[in-house]
Amino acid sequence: MIRIDSVTKRYPDGTVAVDRLSLEIPDRSITVLVGPSGCGKTTTLRMINRMVEPSEGTILLDGADIRQRPVNELRRSMGYVIQHAGLFQHRTIVDNIATVPRLLGRRKSEARARARELMERVGLDASLARRYPYQLSGGQQQRVGVARALAADPPVLLMDEPFSAVDPVVRKGLQDELLRLQEELGKTIVFVTHDIDEAVKLGTMVAVLRTGGRLAQFAPPAELLSNPADPFVEDFLGADRGIRRLSFFSSAGLELLTTPIVAVDATAEQIAARTASGTPYLLVTGVDGKPLGWAEPHDLTAGQVRPERLLPCGRPFAAGTDSLRSALDCAVLSPSGWAVAVDGEGRAAGVVSQQSIAEAIRGAHANDAKPVGAEAAQKAAR
C-alpha cells in the first residue's frame, strides 16, 4: 500500500501545490486523483516516484519511507505513463517497449520477446513492432506508453492524464482496455485526470482535490455521486450526478415483460393473445428471437409483418448485467418508450416501461440499496 501522510509541497517560488495531503492508496486497485487544473495532481503523482520531493510529510510504500529506497530502484518498481506517451522518436515500437528490460540487463532478443508479448496484451497488432512512433496514431502511441510502463512488471503504475490527448472514441477504447488489463494484472494504479467521468469510470477510489492541493473528498465513485462532501465536490461532479449515479445500480431487479413480444412469423392467434396484454406496442423479433422493432398491435397482420416497416427498437440493454442507467437510457431513446432487454446471445429477454424503471429507481433509493460492487459498477459505467 502507498500511504501519503500529511504531505505538503511548496515550490521555491512559494507556490503551495499540495497542502497537508493524506491518502491511503489501496493495493491492486485504481485510485484516481481528480480536480481542476493546477490543484496539485501531477505534483502529488511525481512525489510518489520522487521526481518531486515533498517539503513536509512522508510517503510510505508497504510501510517504508520511500526516501529510504534508492531512487532508481524505487522508479523501477513504478511504471510511469504520461500524456502523449513520451516515446523515444528514434526507436522502433518494439525497442521503445524493450527499453527498461534492456536497462535491467536483459538480452536484446529476450527484451524484444517480452515487448512483443506486451504489445499483444495492450491490443497492438504485431505488425506495428518495427514502426516508429510518428507512424502510429495517438491512441496507438498511448498503448505503447502503457506497454513500456509495464515492461519491467512493476507492482505500481503511475498514470498522468494518459488518455487526455486523444479523441473521445479512442479514449473510451483505451479506458476499457485499461480496465480489462487491470483485471488481468491487478496493479496498484494511481491515475491523474481532470475529467470526472473518467475518474468515476476507472476509479475504485477517487480523490477529489481542490485548488491549493487540499483534499476535498476521498471515496469510491458511487459514494462520491450519492454523498458529495461539500458544494465544491457537488459542483465538480456536475449537474447530472443523479443520472450518473444510476450506473452503480444493477438492472437485475427490473421486472421484464415477455407478453408484448411477438415473433415475425407469429400466427393470428398469437398476435391476438399478445395484443390482449394491453400494451401500446409489441416488440417484433426475428425467428432467432433477436429484436427487430416495435409495432402498434393494429398494424400487425399474421404472415404480413414487414421488418422494414417497424419502428426501430433502439439500443437494447443486457438483462441483469447492465445498470439501471443503461436501462433508462434505452427506454428514453426507444420510440415506444419501452426498453428492450436482451440475453447473452442478443435474444429479446423482455421489455420494460419507463414507468417500471422509474419505480425501480425509487425502490433503489428507498431501500437504500447498496450500489453494486466496484467491479460490476465499473462495467456498468462503461
Ligand X SMILES: Nc1ncnc2c1ncn2[C@@H]1O[C@H](COP(=O)(O)OP(=O)(O)OP(=O)(O)O)[C@@H](O)[C@H]1O
> Where does this chain bind ligand X (CB under 6 A)?
11, 13, 15, 17, 35, 37-43, 194
Instruction: Please identify, using beta-carbon distances, which residue of 212 and 307 lies nearer to ligand X.
Output: 212
In this structure, what are the phi and psi dihedrals at residue 273, rounded to the nearest 5 degrees? -65, -40
User: Residue 302 and residue 271: Cα distance in Å, rounded?
Assistant: 7
CB atoms within 10 A of CB 169: 9
In DSSP notation, 125-168 reads -GGGTTS-GGGS-HHHHHHHHHHHHHTT--SEEEEESTTTTS-H
How far apart are CB 68 and ligand X at their closest, in Å? 25
Q: In what order do the strands lie in the sheet with 282-285?
A: 261-263, 282-285, 291-295
**Cα three-residue angle 13-19-20, rounded to 5 degrees:** 135
Instruction: Please identify, using beta-carbon distances, which residue of 41 and 201 lies nearer to ligand X.
Output: 41
Instruction: Please identify, using beta-carbon distances, which residue of 91 and 194 lies nearer to ligand X.
Output: 194
Residue in the structure block whose three cell numbers are 409495432 = 295
Q: Which residue type does 232 have?
A: F
How far apart are CB 237 and ligand X at their closest, in Å? 17
Nearest to 201 by CA among 34, 350, 80, 23: 34
Instruction: Please identify, using beta-carbon distances, which residue of 2 and 360 lies nearer to ligand X.
Output: 2
How far apart are CB 37 and ligand X at their closest, in Å? 3
Instruction: Please identify, using beta-carbon distances, which residue of 50 and 347 lies nearer to ligand X.
Output: 50
How far apart are CB 41 and ligand X at their closest, in Å? 4
How far apart are CB 158 and ligand X at their closest, in Å? 12
CB atoms within 10 A of CB 101: 22
Q: Which residue type does 35 have?
A: G
How far apart are CB 44 and ligand X at their closest, in Å? 7
Instruction: Please identify, using beta-carbon distances, which residue of 191 and 248 lies nearer to ligand X.
Output: 191
Instruction: Please identify, using beta-carbon distances, which residue of 161 and 329 lies nearer to ligand X.
Output: 161
Q: Coil, strand or helix: which one is 85?
A: coil
Whether residue 90 contacts residue 132, with contact meaning beta carbons closer than 8 Å, is answered with yes
Whether residue 90 contacts residue 82, with contact meaning beta carbons closer than 8 Å, is answered with no
How far apart are CB 215 and ligand X at their closest, in Å? 13
Strand partners, 206: 32, 219
